[in-house]
């Protein structure tokens, strides 16, 4: 999409293309139990039934429908689903391992044309006013085209200890409203944060950058040449699968993990800052999530089927079933299908420490949801016990599971709704509602949905071992063959 902007000095116009680059590699745990390693917060429907990634893609589409997404290989189908929902055209760069923002941005810059103007956006921010967002980004075009690395700083509204700060320096001649960055301030303690707020001229670092690809690559060559070299190797060895581009595993894995702030921004001399003139949240804690819901007269905020009785300043997230808070104050209550969090609001930042403890104790809910997304649809583990497991499986219209077999379990399939095309050994059959089939242990089988509505089945597994790793894929539409 071509944007027309006035220059700072003459008011005349020029045309420029902006390419949004969505950084989607995070796997934060501060929003547990809703956000987990297998379903990070950017994929969770947090705002009006939409995920933060989908909202980010829709917001960035005001600047261009052609976008680049950098994401984990493990989350590629979740990313594609969000891109489809947002109706954007995306090239998805898949990271074989996580290597922080410096490597992700380097790979995107190497993929783009040297003169491309790239807008780097975290996938998990909430910015409710998309129009104000687009206007703010456009205000940085002049500075970015002049060779600056443009950062967007959020005006602090309270003395936060959870964000790094940017101190604004002098105005940059010929670069619009951009100012030089005087210095960066690490996440401060409470007293220092109060000082920065009262001093003025300090912004929260939002992690949003507007920069020409060639400018970023030059900065990496100067300040982090090892990261650039590793990403060059990974780009050279990439493989293409539709709109997925898998970065070379050896080169990318050899890259050191570092943030773009440490690797480049704190060392480069051509860094500029512009105020981010729109409401912004990184949705980094349950307190931040709570603030996206309007409070009642007692300060309670409720999402879903929550009920408050004689309660104050209590947040309830209850999408599945009724949850009642009686006589509570300053609590966060987060209910999911297989785990519940009850926390004092003052301890919201410590949730990630709790998750680490659960992982150390081998609690599966620390990393995985009961409901699991797959490229063909979803499955929900409804019940399990010794030598049995029950799943509800939903297959999208036209989707097909892999041709597979199991060494340790047999399966019964019962069609609840839709039409199932079942391969069971050497037989292929169509099953409708209330019809079923039995798949013996070791039998080659496949499930497909040839219809135009979702297919729902109940699967009953029985056997000595029921783990997901007892799947031998013989053929697969999604490239997952063993």
Region 2-276: CATH code? 3.90.550.10
Q: What is the DSSP string of 340-399?
A: EEEEEGGGGGGHHHHHHHHHHTT-GGGT--SEEEETTEEEEEEEEETTEEEEEEEE-TT-
Question: Of the candidates 282, 347, 337, 286, which has an alpha carbon nearest to the alpha carbon of residue 316?
Answer: 286
Residues in the chain predicted with pLDDT less than 50, given as ranges, are 1-14
Rounded CA-CA distance 326/264 in Å is 51
Q: Could you tell me which residues are beta bridge partners of residue 429?
A: 422
Residues 6+ apart with CB under 8 A from 138: 3, 5, 18, 63
Q: Is the dihedral of CA 411, 412, 416, 418 positive or negative?
A: positive
Whether 24 and 69 have beta carbons less than 8 Å apart is answered as yes
DSSP state of 401: P
Which residues fall within 8 angstroms of residue 254, CB to CB, at 6 or more apart?
Answer: 230, 233
Q: SS3 string of 214-272? A: HHHHHHHHHHCHHHHHHHHHHHHCCEEECCEEECCHHHHHCCCCCCHHHHHHCCCCCEE
Identify the CA nearest to 251 among candidates 137, 138, 53, 107. 107
Q: Could you please report the per-residue DSSP string of 151-195?
A: EEEEPPSS--SSS-EEEEEEEPTTSTT-EEEEEEEPSP-HHHHHH
| Long-range contacts of 327-330, Cβ-Cβ distance < 8 Å, separation of 24 or more | none
In whole angstroms, give the CA distance from residue 441 to residue 430.
Answer: 21
Pairing relationship of beta strands 301-309 and 445-448 according to DSSP bridges:
unpaired
For residue 431, give Cα distances in angstroms to 244, 343, 378, 395, 417. 34, 47, 20, 14, 10
| Closest alpha carbon to 477 in 372, 376, 397 | 376
* Beta strands 331-335; 340-344: pairing state: antiparallel
Contact 168, 182 (CB under 8 A): yes
DSSP 28: -
SS3 147: coil
Say what the pLDDT of residue 46 is: 84
Spatial distance between the Cα atoms of 417 and 457, rounded to a whole number of angstroms: 7
Vertex 119, ends 23 and 184: CA angle to 5°? 80
**What element of type H or E holds 332?**
strand 331-335
Q: What is the β-pairing status of strands 89-95 and 244-246?
A: parallel
The confidence score (pLDDT) of residue 22 equals 97
Q: Give the pLDDT score at 279.
A: 87
Q: List, in order, residues 6 or more apart from 349 with CB less than 8 Å away.
A: 30, 162, 285
Instruction: Specify whether the CB–CB gap between 477 and 400 falls below 8 A.
Output: yes
With beta carbons less than 8 A apart as the criterion, state whether 234 and 227 touch: no
CA triplet 144, 149, 154: central angle to 5 degrees?
100
pLDDT at 5: 42
May I ask the CATH architecture of the domain 371-475?
A: Sandwich (2.60)
Given phi > 0 = left and psi -120 to 50 = alpha, else beta, which region is 362? left
**Cis omega before residue 315 (within 30°)?**
no
Model pLDDT, residue 420: 97
Measured CA to CA in angstroms, residue 187 lies from 156, 229, 266, 352, 361 at distances of 13, 30, 14, 17, 30
Neighbouring C-alpha atoms within 13 Å toward the C-beta of 82:
32
Distance of CA 411 to the CA centre of its chain: 34
So where are the chain's domains? 2-276, 286-360, 371-475
């Amino acid at each position: 999409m071509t944007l027309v902007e006035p220059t700072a000095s003459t008011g005349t116009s020029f045309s420029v293309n902006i390419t949004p680059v969505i950084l989607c590699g995070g796997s934060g745990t501060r929003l547990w139990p809703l956000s987990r390693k297998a379903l990070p917060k950017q994929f969770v429907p947090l705002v009006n039934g939409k995920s933060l990634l989908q909202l980010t893609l829709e917001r960035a589409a005001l600047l261009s429908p052609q976008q680049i997404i950098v994401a984990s290989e493990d989350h590629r189908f979740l990313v594609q689903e969000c891109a489809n929902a947002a109706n954007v055209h995306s090239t998805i760069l898949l990271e074989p391992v996580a290597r922080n923002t410096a490597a992700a941005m380097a790979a995107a810059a190497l993929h783009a044309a040297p003169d491309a103007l790239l807008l780097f956006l975290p996938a998990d921010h909430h910015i409710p006013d998309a129009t104000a967002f687009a206007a703010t980004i456009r205000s940085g075009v002049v500075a970015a085209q002049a060779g600056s690395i443009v950062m967007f700083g959020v005006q602090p509204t309270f003395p936060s200890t959870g964000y790094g700060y940017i101190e604004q320096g002098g105005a940059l001649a010929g670069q619009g409203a951009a100012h030089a960055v005087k210095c960066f301030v690490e996440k401060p303690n409470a007293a220092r944060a109060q000082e920065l707020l009262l001093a003025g001229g300090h912004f929260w670092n939002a992690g949003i950058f507007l920069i020409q690809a060639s400018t970023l690559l030059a900065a990496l060559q100067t300040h982090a040449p090892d990261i650039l070299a590793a990403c060059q190797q990974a780009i050279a060895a990439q493989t293409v699968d539709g709109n997925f581009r898998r970065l070379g595993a050896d080169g990318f894995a050899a890259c050191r993990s570092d943030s773009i702030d440490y690797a480049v921004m704190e060392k480069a001399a051509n860094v500029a800052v512009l105020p981010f003139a729109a409401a912004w949240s990184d949705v980094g804690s349950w307190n931040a999530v709570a603030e996206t819901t309007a409070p009642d007269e007692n300060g309670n905020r409720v999402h879903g089927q929550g009920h408050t009785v004689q309660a104050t300043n209590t947040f309830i997230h209850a999408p599945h079933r009724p949850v009642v808070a009686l006589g509570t104050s300053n609590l966060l209550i987060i209910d999911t299908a297989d785990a519940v969090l009850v926390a004092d609001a003052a301890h919201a930042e410590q949730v990630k420490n709790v998750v680490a403890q659960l992982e150390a104790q081998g609690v599966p809910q620390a990393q995985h949801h009961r409901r699991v997304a797959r490229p063909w649809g979803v499955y929900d583990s409804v019940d399990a016990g010794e030598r049995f497991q029950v799943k509800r499986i939903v297959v999208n219209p036209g989707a097909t599971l892999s041709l597979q077999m199991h060494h340790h379990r047999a399966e019964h399939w019962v069609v609840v709704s839709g039409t199932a095309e079942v391969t069971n050994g050497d037989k292929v059959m169509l099953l409708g509602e209330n019809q079923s089939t039995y798949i013996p242990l070791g039998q080659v089988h496949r499930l497909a949905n040839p219809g135009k509505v979702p297919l729902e089945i109940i699967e009953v597994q029985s056997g000595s071992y029921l783990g997901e790793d007892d799947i031998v894929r013989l053929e697969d539409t999604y490239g997952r063959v063993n």
